[in-house]
Chain A
Amino acid sequence: MDFLGCLFVAGVAVVCGLDRTAALQLMISRPIVAGPLAGFVLGAPLVGLQVGLLTELLWLCRIPVGASIPPDDTQVAVGATFLAVSVLPPDSLQISVIIFCLLIAMPLAKCGQLFDRMARRANDTLSRRAGRSVQSGNLGAVDRMHLVGLGHFALASLLTFIVVASAGSVLCAILMPSLIILLEQPAPWMQLVFPLVGAAMILASINVSRVMTLFSASFASALLMLWLL
């Protein structure tokens, strides 16, 4: 992978990271979009799509309510896509490698919550400074400080991506030769476990009466139909 590719994917990480909270919120930050987008700039959108498919449901219902910061699934998707594309041969879609890269990226991306918290703390200072500016009559400073906050969030996203990409690359180089063989046989079943766990997390957190009955009825009837067909 060339330097330009790394630069572009870092750009995707920042833009998608900003979309999480700070700007637009068009949901290009969701793994199902951020993964293929990162894959696209690296020339392998299907790898990104596979990463997005595996990651999407896991933290879907972790809602950014008030001061709570959900796990950074955006950087998991972008980082895992970056790692997978960098270790996979061109035009390959080896699922065991993609799962391995995801397993490396997921714990590393926990630092995203830390960086996000730091950005919000830095914004506390901005809010106080803006308050002082208003008192002193310097009203134009409020707009500038608001936009500086955008910079804090962008920096948090970039740092998370750098940690996932750099530490992930090192870990992949060290662990992959010995561990990848363990994943090859169970890879198709592992591929199923991701959405199963994701679905369970959604069902556990959703506020709908008789949610398990509804889910079970839908699951059973769809399964029956697919089996009969």
Chain B
Amino acid sequence: MQSLSRLLLIRSFLRLFLLQASWNFERMQNLGVLYVLEPVLRALYRDDALQEAYHRHMGYFNTHPFMASPILGATIALEQRRAAGQVGTFGVDDFKSMTMAPYAAIGDALFWGGVRPLAVCVSLFFAVKGSLLAPVVFLLGFNLPHLWMRLMGFMRGYLLGVSVVEIIQRHRLPDLAVRIKEGMVVVLGGLIAYLTVATCRGAGFSAGWGAAALPLICLFVLFARKGASALLLLGLSLAFLVTFFQVVIW
């Protein structure tokens, strides 16, 4: 089997950061996949075989951009075996199409729904204090797991091939996503309580009045679940505040 140099793999890995550069409605990340695989495909195939390999990856592909790392790492391993004439149970296309949807769901829940909001909530404590460390805290909190997933996912995908699926299963990422979301909700509760108390004290009220924020949030949640947008809720609340201060206070 033809070995792939580290330099080639590093080039492919770095190209992962531009996976979505040509994201389109019709085939979503298809050109991105080809862009990532291009150095490897050119090393493995020549002439018609190379053109055929390009054809293979021109089809629809869409997954979470960070979870694409294990998929494309394993795809490189599969292409390498295919170029060496070893035919396994899974074809390259089969593997990609079987994994992209579940991995997208895992990535969305874990990174967009869990890690990102948690990192934001922690960093907002710094922002409330007026500390410019807030963006740094957020970037560190988000990017450490993000870059770990990208790097380890790609490496393990390449080294293990289709068996990378078992590793992802063993880590029980969907369960982890739920735990992170629960943690985020707790931190969010603390953050909102802190903001409410700070505002009440700033306006000369007792911190206990901050409890009034809870039914207000419940009301907002109710409206949001009925389909009200953030802009609408914000607009109505601000209009109410302006009217209240104009009519009642003045």
Contacts and interface: CB of A to CB of B under 8 A. Distances in A.
A114 interface: no
A1 interface: no
Interface stretch (B91-99, B158-166, B195-203): B195-203
Interface stretch (B2-10, B77-85, B132-140): B132-140
A49 B130 contact: yes
Given A36-B132, A219-B193, A208 B181 contact: yes
B217 A200 contact: yes
A65 B112 CA distance: 10
Contacts of A185: 245, 249-250
Interface in A55-103: 56-61, 63-67, 71, 103
Interface string B166-194: 00000000000010011011111111111
Which of A33, A146, A150, A201 has most chain B Cβ within 10 Å? A146
Contact of B181 (A191, A201, A206): A206
Contact of A60 (B27, B120, B196): B120
B128 A53 contact: yes
A204 to B, nearest CB: 4
Interface in A194-229: 194-208, 211-212, 214-220, 222-223, 226-227
B34 A37 contact: no
A183 B238 CA distance: 9
A23 B35 CA distance: 13
A45 B192 CA distance: 23
Q: Is the interface of B mostly helix, strand, loop or mixed?
A: helix
B112 to A, nearest CB: 4
A27 B23 contact: no
B32 A146 contact: yes
B108 to A, nearest CB: 6
Contact of A149 (B31, B135, B139): B31
Given A137-B51, A206-B181, A214-B182, A201 B230 contact: yes
A130 interface: yes
Interface in A147-187: 147-150, 152-153, 182-183, 185-186
B116 to A, nearest CB: 7
Contacts of A208: 178, 181-182, 185
Interface size class of A (residues with CB under 8 A): 35 or more
A97 to B, nearest CB: 15
B208 to A, nearest CB: 5
B21 A26 contact: no
Contacts of B242: 182-183, 186
B30 A25 contact: no
B31 A145 contact: yes
A175 B143 CA distance: 41
B224 interface: yes
A107 B235 CA distance: 11
A152 B24 CA distance: 11
Contact of A150 (B18, B184, B191): B18
A145 B30 CA distance: 12
A183 B195 CA distance: 19
Contacts of A201: 220, 224, 230, 233
A133 to B, nearest CB: 9
Contacts of A143: 35, 38
Contacts of B189: 214-219, 222
A183 B241 CA distance: 9
A30 B120 contact: yes
Given A61-B117, A215-B217, 9 more contacts: A21-B23, A26-B143, A30-B138, A139-B50, A142-B54, A199-B191, A208-B182, A219-B217, A226-B193
Interface of A: 21-28, 30, 32-33, 36-37, 45-46, 49, 52-53, 56-61, 63-67, 71, 103, 106-107, 120-121, 123-124, 126-128, 130-131, 134, 137, 139, 142-143, 145-150, 152-153, 182-183, 185-186, 188-208, 211-212, 214-220, 222-223, 226-227
28 contacts: A25-B20, A26-B139, A27-B146, A45-B132, A46-B130, A52-B127, A53-B127, A60-B120, A121-B25, A126-B22, A127-B22, A139-B51, A146-B31, A146-B35, A150-B21, A193-B238, A195-B195, A197-B237, A198-B230, A199-B192, A200-B221, A206-B113, A214-B182, A214-B189, A219-B213, A223-B211, A227-B206, A227-B210
Closest A-B pairs by Cβ, 5 of them: A149-B22, A218-B189, A200-B220, A204-B224, A222-B193
